[in-house]
Structure 1
Amino acid sequence: MNYNYKVWLVNDDNVKFFGTGPMNLLKKTNELGSLNKAAQEMNMSYSKAFALIKKCENELSTKLLIRQVGGRDGGGSYITEEAKEFIQKYDDFNRRSNDAIKKIYNEIF
């Protein structure tokens, strides 16, 4: 027997807007230099990926991606410093939540 859980962030209306999916999309976009390539690698349409990032940006009231329109080098995307800080905070929150839940699970079971 074991346990499972997911941690995500919700807005004031209790609507989910950030979790491992958007976090992985941001990380993959930064790694590949392209939101489109990141979406493809995650089997997601570009329009869905774009909407997901816009929703997070709106909820957080901050820019998460810098998008460079095509041109000779083809454009691309990379994450902002605010996005890097937010990802770090979310990772820390997720890790500490896991530690606390594991401790409680072990105490009870």
Structure 2
Amino acid sequence: MKPALRVMLCDDAGERFFGEGPCRLLHLIEETGSLRSAAAQMGLSYSKALRLVQHAEKELGFALTCKTIGGRGGGGSTLTAEARQFLERYEAYRDACVQTSRELYSAFFPGQR
């Protein structure tokens, strides 16, 4: 069995600030229009989800979400244009890492799955 590849970005102190969890959270924010709803769908507390977003924003140097007005809950969140662009680049990078990892695995372990 091929090992799973997890791609994450770390800050200068080696602390992870972006990976599959935050990526999924941003997609859910975009789908639901709410950080609170996205956190609930991932089984996270609102405060944990907010910390994930804030930590990533601090390291990236730009806002990932912005608040919206209206809706059933009185307001929500949506992704900024910068966040959408970053997410697109991150996913392309992740997919390239996965492909490269598969190729390397096949080169070093021919015939293995």
Q: Which has the higher contact order (CA 8 A, sep 6+)?
A: 2
How far is 1:4 from its partner?
1.7
State TM-score, norm by structure 2: 0.90
Compared with structure 1, are the counterparts of its residues 73 and 16 closer, same or farther at alpha carbon in structure 2 (3 Å cutoff)?
closer
Aligned-CA RMSD value: 1.6
State TM-score, norm by structure 1: 0.93
Q: Which amino acid aligns with 1:107?
A: A
Q: Which amino acid aligns with 1:108?
A: F
Compared with structure 1, are the counterparts of its residues 21 and 77 closer, same or farther at alpha carbon in structure 2 (3 Å cutoff)?
same
Deviations 1:58-93 (A, max 9, x none): 010100000136688611100001000110111011
The whole-number CA distance in structure 2 between the counterparts of 1:73 and 1:93 is 35
Matched pairs, number:
109
The whole-number CA distance in structure 1 between the counterparts of 2:106 and 2:83 is 34
Moved more, 69-78 or 22-31: 69-78
The whole-number CA distance in structure 2 between the counterparts of 1:50 and 1:70 is 20
Unaligned runs of 5+ in 2: none
The whole-number CA distance in structure 1 between the counterparts of 2:89 and 2:68 is 26
Over the matched positions of the two proteins, sequence identity in percent amounts to 39
Matching residue of 1:75 = 75
